[in-house]
Structure 1
Amino acid sequence: MAMESSLWSTCDYSHNVTFFYNLVGKKISVEWESRDVFVIGLGLTVCLIVVLANLMVMAAISMNHRFHFPIYYLLGNMAAADLFAGIAYINLMLHTGPWTSTLTKEQWYIRGALIDISLTASVANLLAVAVERHQTIITMQLHSKMTKRRVVLLIVCIWAVSIIMGLVPSLFWNCECDLDDCSTVAPLYSRRFLIFWAVLNLLTFFIMVAMYTRIFFYVRYQISHMSQHSSEIRHRQTVFNLMKTISMVLGAFVICWMPGLVTLLLTGCWAKTATPTPTRSSVWS
């Protein structure tokens, strides 16, 4: 029994994608079903809308000199991350269903890495915007005094961290050397990595929500106790309106991603571990 368990944890890189799906009991469609066609058609349509919408946002920020401030550069970078997410999901739609079994492990890892990179970049951008707004609005300013050079450096760091996080599963934190740790959601990923990734993103969400909640109530308090000078009223109302817009963006993002992250966390924590069976053993070759 100990020898069998040892073999089950031995690194063997000859397994294909189908092996890992069979291992965790996740079915790969053999033929196209009407549901598959509908999901892919709807998914591609939504992804194209996301790509076009974010291209318009990036173009508007680039061409309008009134938006050449740190907060708008960060929002533009967030649009770039969302555009990248749209492209990542287009790639997913074109490599899912019956096509999954034709993927090499490298192609499968690339498919997952693109999604990981886009989500990490979006979350990191939202966190950067939250920190920038907190620093700026607590002093009741409309725009940050951060230099363009620092903003560019921050954006580069965001993408560098995102790319690293996207490459982690394919480089070393996967279940190819520990088949008991394979995830039912992403069969080649380690369940421990998915738990770490979900907890990290959920923790970031809670931090951002706490920061925006503090800013929101602070601004409301300041507006209710400020003088009646018209220029001061307009300035603070502009700040408040900008905060409401950013808060709605954050709220929509959290609502869209929270269910998936919670699902990843629960699946990673309570999913059954894979155990070798005769049917699975037949796939080893």
Structure 2
Amino acid sequence: MIVSLAAAVALSGGLNSSSRPDPFDASSWTDATNTSSSPDPSPALTSPSDTSPDTSFFPPQDVSPWDIALCVTGTLISCENALVIAVLFYTPTLRSPMFILIGSLAVADLLAGLGLIVNFVFTYLVDSSVEFVTLLSVGLLISAFSASVLNILAITVDRYLSLYNALTYHTERTLTFTYVMVVLIWVLCVALGLLPAFGWNCLQDEAACSVCRPVTKNNAVALAVAFLLIFALMTQLYLQICKIAFRHAQQIAVQHQFLAISTTKGVSTLSAILCAFGACWLPFAMYSIVADSSYPAVYTYVTVLPAACCSVINPVIYAFRNPDIQKSLWMACCGCVPSFSLRRRTSSEV
């Protein structure tokens, strides 16, 4: 998925930095040979500073503030989603298909956060010029961000089916079907993450790189178009959800006023979810289509940082707003259920 292109952006900053001086430069050998071959006429006049061994090492690499921001974002993502995973794992009642998809999304975002942290470490603490390090970091981030977007799409489809087939949804939507769908999502995303290691990269041709090295320009455009198609599909599904919700409100005349108010609230919530997703990913998707490696790196950082922040918003939208997860969090933190009512949302409320 195009969203996984953000996975590789931090590498461009670290890998494009000024190269370190080569301690095995032939010129340094020549200087050292000439110095050792000529006798010192007055060793007694040589100052201690001249004879002290050279203890200087490679100059420290400047840390980009953008990379620091991505690392901090990755830390926040990891903490949030680790909490969601812990709640789902230790609460036996949260085993429905909806919570399985939420858990899969949390795992994807957790890996994305860890990938941002690992990428920062590889860029500044490990020799990032090694191809294996570059491909490993990029592959992890591509897989994680791809899984995050596909799980969001799966959750959208699940919400649509819960309204479109409200009477038969709970009998048709089995755990086995949900697990199979999750496995297929992860197999596809892992395959996308392995593509750079299988030769789909621009390490041997820097001119063919996109804004996210080592993804090529052609592959970046293809992934961007794929993301735009996914976003269009999500928009269509949410529009259908809104139509079904308003239809439910009109069919029940007795509760018309209540359902009209709650449906309006649900439509506003869906609009906020879709707008947040689009605001996070659309700038980077469009930029990946029009830009290439010759563009300033700051533009890439400006567009990819909001895309990474989408994984910060996901736990709030899909997990922490759920009444059952809220109840489990209160039980884990305080040992009791809050005094205010945690009312379940009906399908009409979206």
Q: Same fold (TM over 0.5)?
A: yes
SS in 1 for 2:195: helix
1:152 alignment partner in structure 2: 179
**Kindly tell me: are residues 179 and 102 of structure 1, through their superposed partners in 2, closer, same or farther at Cα, counting changes over 3 Å?**
closer
Q: Any conservation in 1 of the 2:104–2:182 contact (CA below 8 Å)?
A: yes
**Structure 2 residue aligned with 1:280:** none
List aligned pairs for 1:216-235, cutoff 5 A. Answer: 216-228=242-254
The CA distance in 2 between the partners of 1:167 and 1:27, in whole Å, is 23
Amino acid at match of 1:28: S
CA contact (8 A) 2:153 2:234 kept: yes
CA distance in 1, matches of 2:261, 2:89: 25
Name segments (4+ residues, structure 1) moved above 6 Å.
236-244
Alpha-carbon distance change, 135 to 239 in structure 1, aligned in 2, over 3 angstroms: farther
Code of the residue aligned with 1:130 in structure 2: it is T
CA distance in 1, matches of 2:187, 2:262: 33
Q: Secondary structure at the match of 1:50?
A: helix
In 2, distance between residues paired with 1:73 and 1:248? Answer: 23
Change (3 A) 1:59 1:176: closer
Cα deviation per residue 1:242-272 (whole Å; 9 max; x = unaligned)? 786566445433322222222111125x969
Unaligned runs of 5+ in 1: 1-20, 273-285
Of the three residues 157, 160, 168, the one matched with 1:134 is 160
The one-letter code sitting in structure 1 at the alignment partner of 2:209 is C
Q: Are the equivalent residues in 2 in contact too, given 1:121–1:159 (CA < 8 A)?
A: yes
Contact 1:182 1:189 (C-alpha < 8 Å) held by counterparts? yes
| Alignment partners' CA distance in 1, 2:101 and 2:153 | 10
Contact 1:58/1:80, CA 8 A, preserved across alignment: yes
**Equivalent residue, structure 1, for 2:119:** 92
Q: How does 1:68-107 map to 2 (within 5 A)?
A: 68-96=95-123, 102-107=128-133
- Change in 2 beyond 3 A, CA 1:64/1:102: closer
Identity %: 22
State the TM-score, normalized to the length of structure 1: 0.71
SS in 2 for 1:61: helix
TM-score, normalization: structure 2?
0.59
- For these two proteins, the number of residue pairs brought into alignment is 242
- 1:167-192 Cα offsets, whole Å, 9 max, x none, are 11221322356554233x23432211
Contact 1:175–1:188, Cα closer than 8 Å, also in 2? yes
Counterpart Cα distance in 2 of 1:192 and 1:100: 29
Closer, same or farther: CA 116–215 of 1 in aligned 2, 3 Å:
same
- Are the structure 2 counterparts of residues 187 and 73 from structure 1 closer, same or farther at C-alpha, using a change threshold of 3 Å? closer
C-alpha separation between the residues in 1 aligned to 2:262 and 2:101? Answer: 19
Mapped partners of 1:205, 1:142: distance in 2? 27
C-alpha spacing 1:146/1:182, structure 2 compared with 1 (3 Å) = same
Q: Is the 8 A contact 1:126 1:250 kept in 2?
A: no
Q: 1:56: Cα distance to partner?
A: 1.5
Match of 1:201 among 217, 227, 230: 227
CA 1:81 to 1:246, structure 2 compared with 1: closer, same or farther past 3 Å?
farther
Say which one has the larger Rg: 2
Q: Aligned letter for 1:255?
A: A
Equivalent residue, structure 2, for 1:13: none
Could you tell me which residue of structure 2 aligns to residue 166 of structure 1? 193
After superposition, give the CA deviation of every residue in 1:205-253 in whole Å (9 maximum; x if it has no partner).
11112211221232123213323269xx78x998987786566445433
Q: Deviations over 1:120-166 (max 9, x none)?
A: 10111111112222222113359643111111111111110000011
Counterpart of 1:192 in structure 2 is 218
- Are the aligned partners of 2:200 and 2:216 in contact in 1 as well (CA < 8 Å)? yes
Give the Cα–Cα distance (whole angstroms) in 2 for the partners of residues 55 and 246 of structure 1: 25
Q: CA offsets per residue over residues 43-77 of structure 1, 9 Å max, x none? A: 33322221111112222233344532111210111
CA contact (8 A) 1:223 1:237 kept: no
Distance 1:129 1:252 in 2: 15
Matched, 1:262 2:286: yes
Q: Deviations over 1:88-117 (max 9, x none)?
A: 111122223x55864311110111111110
Whichever residue aligns with residue 152 of structure 2, its letter is: L
Equivalent-residue separation in structure 1 for 2:294 and 2:70 (angstroms)? 27
Looking at structure 2, the residues matched to 72 and 141 of structure 1 have their Cα atoms a distance apart, in angstroms, of: 20
Task: Within 5 Å, give how 1:43-58 maps onto structure 2.
Answer: 43-58=70-85
The Cα RMSD (Å) is 3.4
For 1:188, give the aligned amino acid. Answer: P
Of 252-261 and 45-54, the range deviating more from structure 2:
252-261
